[in-house]
Amino acid sequence: MSSNMEVDMHNPAFDSRDSGAHTDWRLRLALAGTALAVVVVVLGAFTRLADAGLGCPDWPGCYGHLTWPDEHHEIETANAAFPHAPVETDKTWPEMVHRYFAGALLLLVGGLTVLAWRRRGHRAFKQTHFLLALILLQAAFGMWTVTLKLWPQVVTAHLLGGMATLSMLWLMVERLRNAPPSKGRFIPAHEYRLLQKIRPLAFAATGAVVLQIALGGWTSSNYAALACADFPTCHGEWWPQTDFRQGFNIAQQIGPNYLGGTLESDARTAIHVAHRLGALLVSILVLALAAFAWRAGSHRWAAGLAGVLLLQVSLGIANVVMFLPLPIAVAHNAGAAVLLLGLLTFCYRIQTAQPRVSNRDGIPEKPGVDNTALAGTL
């Protein structure tokens, strides 16, 4: 019996089933982690835009509480302990809820890392460890956001770290969906050739979106979103007076408190104008990519990318003309995440797709293969 068991354990079908079971658990955790990361990113945007980043002057607790002070006697005690930062209950709970969800994400990625150690040869082994290190770094940025009083460099880095965490989790989902024993992605040979030609453009568009997200974080952390209150002009001019040197002085000293911003008007205008120029560059690249993708036959991807871009640009304009309403500002941040994930997915599927042999070449097509590699919604 033991020899038969040993033979069974080394049977390729047994290994395939075992690998599939492990991949299924990783996939479920990665999907849950992605959903949780979306919540963390949106809550982070809400906290930042509601000026609640310093809602709790200490870290990791809030005025010495595991939750936040809400009873009258607790608020009195907190105000006595932190006289420089009196309790504002409408700002304490967003900060702490954001921390709770970020902590839950850390635990979930820790679980993914434990599973990765059970199969060290798996493709996600290094990725889970890097992801865990990134989230720990994010926790440090969260602490520095409080202790350094919303220093723009830290706030912007914290935003980029959140987007990077979300992106890595989503790419892990993509990799696990196509891990053995699942089928590969095969597309018609002519479509494959056309998509390979636009691969540099896809990567360039993705890089531009990352840069634009960084500019958006810099705009928000320096309170420059309303530096131009009109559109498409700024202060009634196509090129207003600006101070780019001061606006993008990333070597500025750490000040006592950045709540409300410390830059002069011309510096904030420079940041806002740069963000608009970045939006123009992203629009050109993404629309060009959508046009070439449509020509290659990836119609749903082309329409999806163009649609998300149009929505994102509309939200950005609405933020200006409507004086930054909180729901629209938060939706603008979420839209940036959706656009980034869409581009990353498109790049990944171009990178991993394989040409499907056509009958026109006299060779039969591979049976049972998913021929819609680039189909699907964003």
Q: Which residues are catalytic?
A: 95
CA distances from 57 to 38, 54, 150 (A): 25, 6, 11
Whether 357 contacts 189, CB under 8 Å: yes
Single out the residue of 286, 295, 253, 246 nearest to residue 269, CA to CA.
Answer: 246
Neighbours of 71 (CB within 10 A): 8
Cis peptide bond upstream of 240, omega within 30: no
Neighbours of 290 (CB within 10 A): 23
Q: Which residues pair with 354 in a beta bridge?
A: 186
Whether 23 contacts 17, CB under 8 Å: no
CA dist., res. 227 & res. 204, Å (int) = 29
**Which pair of tokens denotes residue 318?**
């609405």
CA dist., res. 178 & res. 181, Å (int) = 8
For residue 359, give the DSSP letter.
Answer: G
CA dist., res. 55 & res. 146, Å (int) = 9
Single out the residue of 351, 332, 335, 376 nearest to residue 203, CA to CA.
Answer: 351
Report the half-sphere exposure of 59 (CA within 13 A, side-chain side).
Answer: 17
CA dist., res. 83 & res. 79, Å (int) = 5
Q: Which residues pair with 234 in a beta bridge?
A: 237
